[in-house]
Amino acid sequence: MDNTEIRAALDRHWTASDANDFEAEHAIWSMMTGGGIAGGLYHALKSMS
């Protein structure tokens, strides 16, 4: 998962969160943090701050 894909997933997660769609939010977060993506997610979030 590259930075563009991570950013798109974060955007989907935040949209689901804003809509109080906890099921979609959880599914997106699980996909992002599974399979070793967590390190990439951490660095992507850190670079956005």
Q: Determine the pLDDT at residue 20.
A: 93
Structural domain containing residue 16: 3-48
Structural contact between residues 24 and 9, judged by C-beta atoms closer than 8 angstroms:
no
pLDDT: which is higher, 4 or 35: 4
User: What's the pLDDT tens digit per position in 18-47?
Assistant: 999 988 888 887 777 765 555 566 666 666
Q: Determine the pLDDT at residue 25.
A: 84
User: What's the pLDDT tens digit per position in 11-21?
Assistant: 988 899 999 99
Structural contact between residues 12 and 28, judged by C-beta atoms closer than 8 angstroms:
yes
Q: Alpha helix locations (H) across the chain?
A: 3-18, 22-33, 38-48
Domain count within the chain:
1
DSSP 49: -
Q: Determine the pLDDT at residue 13.
A: 85
